[in-house]
Amino acid sequence: MNTKNYIKQLKQHLSALDTTKSNEIIKEIESYIQESNANYETLVEKFGDPIELASNYLEDMSLNEPKNNSFWKSTIKITTIVASTILAIILITSYIVYEVTKDSFDYSKYDATTITSKVNDLWIDLDGITEIRTEQAEVVFYWGENEKLKYNCEGMDYTQTGSVFTIKQAHCFVILPKQTTNIISFQTDVILIAPNYNVNLDFRQSHTRIAEMGNNYNYNISEKQSKVENFNSKQSNITINAKVFQSKVKHYKY
Amino acid sequence: MKDEYKKWLAQYRKGYIELCTLVTLKTNGSMHGLALIHFFENMELMVNEGTLYPLLNRMETNGWLSSSWNIPKLKGHPKREYEISKKGEIILPSLLESYELHHKSLTKIKESTK
């Protein structure tokens, strides 16, 4: 038996340690051999046999760091990096989606009078409208004191047929007069800002948000396959009748 | 009986040798394993390699010591030099105080039974 055998056996019995630690120990014992010109027997006399020495190292190491520590550390590190990256992507995507889909401003900060100053493009008046139909559109409704309906639209198609005003694939602000009582929407994002008169809603596959602005309403909502937030019906001379199908109805929040 | 004594001695000596190592390295600066063994021999503290080397390893893992390889420029072989770390310097006074308190307590206990 020679010192190489000792080192070889020691290496084998230190295999429970991580490689860096084990290599450092072996290198140090080899340094000792060179320094003291030790042979196998001297090593056994001074250090004990390789198994004994290895167990001394392992006994001490077990108090501090188990072998798999580095494995777990790197696993935890990788998992943390991956999780952080996924979380960052989700957050960035959510932020982009939020920025793209959020309202261009807080519609509830305006009323029928002030919205015309905020959106100061051309407003058009329509007479004798009792019903509005919307399809694949985004429409914000206000209620005004005038006899005429006022609207401001950007988009594809908005037409009057008799007493019905139809909006298709457009983004519109509409100020309703008292006599416009019916709103029929299909696949439309509808926002109602403080309804001032009775209104009948018939919404299909639409997303509706209502800003009560502290007013009391008498709600009469019938829904099918829809998600409707809790709207407290209070004694009021304004009634909101809503028939919703495959739609969402909730409170307006900017 | 002999085995029990050996076990007790091994346990007792580990902490004691750690304390002596910290004091030695604090006083003398960096040293390698064999130099420490020779130094302890001169101080009449007999420590064998099989005890000291794993202890040095453990103390480094604890953060009480740091080590580096001293590679001679012309002749000789690399040696792993140990020195007391900042953490070791911070903990040393507490270890010494504990040791001295225990030593005093033992003296008192012995005296009280006379």
Per-residue pLDDT of chain B (114 residues; tens, 9 = 90+): 678 888 888 888 889 999 999 999 999 999 999 999 999 999 999 999 999 999 999 999 999 999 999 988 777 788 999 999 999 999 999 999 999 999 999 999 999 866
Residue B37 has a pLDDT of: 95
Tokens 């590190």 sit on residue:
A77
Q: Give me chain B's average pLDDT, please.
A: 91
Of the partner residues A28, A35, A46, the one whose CB lies closest to the CB of residue B50: A46
Residue A62 has a pLDDT of: 55
Side-chain-facing half-sphere of B85: CA atoms under 13 Å: 13
The whole-angstrom separation of Cα A63 and Cα A79 is 26
Per-residue tokens: B23: 């004091």
Q: What is the pLDDT of residues A77-120, one digit of tens each?
A: 899 999 999 999 999 999 998 888 777 889 999 999 899 888 87
Cα angle: B80, vertex B86, B92; to 5 degrees: 95
Which segments in chain A show pLDDT lower than 50? Answer: none
Cα angle: B46, vertex B51, B55; to 5 degrees: 115
Per-residue tokens: A49: 């046999």
The whole-angstrom separation of Cα B40 and Cα B34 is 10
B-interface mutation test, from A3, A22, A35, A43, most B Cβ less than 10 A away: A35
Q: In 3D, which of A105, A173, A30, A209 has the Cα closest to residue B78?
A: A30
Nearest C-alpha of chain A: how many angstroms from B47? 9
Closest chain B CA to residue A34? B77
DSSP letter string over A25-76? HHHHHHHHHHHHT--HHHHHHHH--HHHHHHHHHHHHHTT--TTHHHHHHHH
The whole-angstrom separation of Cα A171 and Cα A156 is 9
Residue A36: its chain B contacts at CB < 8 A?
A: 34
Residue B57: its chain A contacts at CB < 8 A?
A: 21, 24-25, 57, 60-61
CB A143 within 8 A of CB A175: yes
Per-residue tokens: A132: 């509005």
Crossing angle of helices B49-62 and A19-36, in 10° steps, is 140
Of the partner residues A34, A52, A64, the one whose CB lies closest to the CB of residue B61: A64
CB A142 within 8 A of CB A110: yes
Residue B75 has a pLDDT of: 78
Per-residue tokens: A72: 């777990």
* CB-based contacts of A142, cutoff 8 Å, min separation 6: A110, A111, A112, A115, A173, A174, A175, A176, A193, A194
Classify the complex by whether its ipTM is higher than 0.90, answering yes or no.
Answer: no
CB A60 to CB B54 under 8 A? yes
Of the partner residues A32, A36, A57, the one whose CB lies closest to the CB of residue B57: A57
Centre a 10 Å sphere on the Cβ of residue A95 and count the other Cβ atoms it contains. Answer: 10
Contact B62/A at CB under 8 A: yes
Residue B22 has a pLDDT of: 97
Q: In 3D, which of B57, B18, B98, B61 has the Cα closest to residue B10?
A: B18
Q: What is the pLDDT of residues A62-74, one digit of tens each?
A: 555 555 566 777 8
Contact B48/A at CB under 8 A: yes
A→B interface, C-beta within 8 Å: 21, 24-25, 27-29, 31-32, 34-36, 46-48, 52-53, 56-57, 59-61, 63-65
Residue B71 has a pLDDT of: 87
B-interface mutation test, from A26, A57, A65, most B Cβ less than 10 A away: A57
The whole-angstrom separation of Cα A14 and Cα A6 is 12
Nearest C-alpha of chain A: how many angstroms from B77? 7
Residue A41: its chain B contacts at CB < 8 A?
A: none
CB A170 within 8 A of CB A146: no
Cα angle: A193, vertex A196, A199; to 5 degrees: 90
CB A47 within 8 A of CB A9: no
